Structure 1
Amino acid sequence: MRKISILRSIRKIYQFFVDIPIKDGTVLKDRYQVLSFIGAGSYGMVYLCRDLKTNENRVIKQLRPSKRRNKKEAAMFENEISVLGTLNQKNMPVLYEAFSSNGYFFYAMSFIEGDNLEDELFISKKTYSEKESLFILVHLLELVDDLHNKGIYHQDLRTANILLKNKEPFLIDFGLSKQRDSINQHNKLEDILKMKQQDYYDLGDLLLYLLYSTYSSKNKKALPWTEELSLKKETVNLLKKLLGIHEPYTNTIEISKGLYAAINAQEKES
């Protein structure tokens, strides 16, 4: 364990000195002018840029310089480019091009202007009623269904990867996504079902985050969500199946039925 800890420390120090964000004002590929550094993930660094050709904002993602010679990380970067190239949904990023410059690797995609759900929940402290939360899930389920129909499994559906624009969710960050065609033929059907259910589990987790936005703790001791949240039985059933507490859903049609049963229960009350 100590050896692993030392290796991690060395890696972080190396990244600190190597993964230096590109300076504002720098022009990449004689076209994309860096406006600001947005942030960094496990293998990528993200910038807001101005497309000097169209005068529109773009997002540029760079493979971390420290990862350039790491075959696994480079393959993940290439996979993300491949996934983005297959998307055709207004609520997801559009890939414009991939390019390299001075041995560094980049791709350009559309800039989606919206509020990050994680910031909305944990910084702005925005609240969502049970009904509002369910309707957000309706939109998210449509996006996940579209991905699954294309043989794409997001695998990282969390608050940080969702933007809200006019109360409508947009999916971003496909860095951990998997494509059906790239899955090893051995146990392929089993692997696909696991990836589907991972996305379904993540939807349940997202719904819980939204529902907890109105929760005010009165107990010093943390209790299970089934005891802390006052929810309609249809919403509880939906969550339990999404989270695998009860027999899990196997497809989005089943989820849709459970979701609309929960929404109908809300409509009857209002």
Structure 2
Amino acid sequence: MDRPYKVGATINDCYEVRRIIGSGSFGIVYLCKDLRTNDNLVVKQLRPSKQRFKSEIKLFENEIYILRKLDNEYMPRLYEAFLREGSYFYVMTFIDGYDLDEQLFSKKKSFSESESLLFLLQLLELVEYLHERDIYHQDLRIPNILLKINHPYLIDFGLARQVDSTSSSNKNKSLILELKQQDYFDLGDILLFLLYSTYPSKNKKALPWTEELSLNRGTVHLLKRLLKIERPYSNTKEISADLHTAIMAVNS
């Protein structure tokens, strides 16, 4: 039932499959050539086995809804969405970049403390762009970050949520803070991955990062707040202030 389209097959009479980029439990992602323009585009298909469930269709439609809201050069842009032969699809720009997860673990790319903080600053700008539009990614992980000319591109909005910030109810405010802080926590987790890229593991027994990594005081403070070890951040401006302080201290 979930057999993917073969290389050379055509989707919706105009998207020729070049290769399968990814195949997860939720969807199948293809690199395709638009036969009308010869452009490379990405086509995502909701797995046919998931189409039996209204909740899965709703998630797929929510991802399309979120992508329609984006207009940022470091995020994918939606071209169209369609239903074909009972299957759900959408088409977006192809970002010709490198998976950060693969770069760190297979290619052994390393980031110094300064480079890690500067990279986080670029990521924070993307998160701030989303939060200003009441969008919360909720799945900020290294496999969902692509590197292109040393700049991060953010992908995979399958778990993203949009919540109206104009509502004054306490429940709504609490939900928004929770969603924000989940994205902030994920930024802290990503920063740890970057910082560990230059860590020479000598201990047979894993130790907490506070003991393993030798970091500037400002970087430690930033991490502890992102990871909710100390008072968590409530907005990106607070993070940006501490991040700039840490960058200045490391580079001084």
Shorter-normalised TM range: over 0.9
Pick one of 107, 119, 122 that aligns with 1:136: 119
Match of 1:52 among 35, 40, 55: 35
Q: CA deviation at 1:21?
A: 1.0
Tell me, which stretches of 5 or more residues in structure 1 are unaligned?
1-17
Residue aligning to 1:3:
none
Q: CA deviation at 1:219?
A: 1.2
Q: 2-side partners of 1:52 and 1:133: how far apart?
A: 41
Match of 1:215 in 2: 199
1:175 is the counterpart of 2:158 = yes
| Alignment coverage as a number of residue pairs | 251
CA–CA distance in structure 2, aligned partners of residues 70 and 26 of structure 1: 27
2:54 paired with 1:71: yes
Aligned to 2:231: 247
Question: Tell me, what secondary structure is at the counterpart of 1:187?
Answer: helix
Q: 1:129 corresponds to which letter in structure 2?
A: S
Please give the alpha-carbon distance, in whole angstroms, between the structure 2 residues aligned to 1:52 and 1:186: 51
The AA in structure 2 aligned to 1:70 is: F
For normalisation by structure 1, the TM-score amounts to: 0.91
Equivalent residues in 2 for 1:151-190, closer than 5 Å:
151-181=134-164, 187-190=171-174
Distance 1:259 1:53 in 2: 46
Q: Distance in 1 between matches of 2:73 and 2:133?
A: 15
Shift of 1:44: 1.0
Paired letter, 1:261 = T
- The letter of the residue matching 1:200 is Y
Q: TM-score w.r.t. structure 2 length?
A: 0.97
- The code of the aligned residue for 2:42 comes to V
1:17-36 CA-to-partner distances (Å, cap 9, x unmatched) read x2111111111111111111
After TM superposition, give the deviation of residue 43 of structure 1 in Å. Answer: 1.2
Matched, 1:256 2:237: no
2:189 maps to amino acid = D
**RMSD between superposed Cα atoms in Å:** 1.5
AA of the residue aligned to 2:2:
D
The separation in 2 between residues aligned to 1:247 and 1:181, in whole angstroms, is 25
Q: 1:41, 1:90 → 2: CA distance?
A: 25
The question of 1:229 aligning with 2:213 is answered yes
Q: State the distance in 1 between where 2:246 and 2:3 align.
A: 48
Percent identity among equivalent residues? 58
Query: Per the alignment, in what secondary structure is the counterpart of residue 52 of structure 2?
Result: coil
Moved over 6 A (4+): none
Q: 1:186: Cα distance to partner?
A: 7.5
Structure 2: gaps of 5 or more residues:
none
Following the alignment from structure 1 to structure 2, what is the Cα–Cα distance between the partners of residues 252 and 105?
Answer: 35
1:93-112 matched pairs, under 5 angstroms: 93-112=76-95
1:255: Cα distance to partner? 0.1
Q: Which residue number corresponds to residue 4 of structure 1? A: none
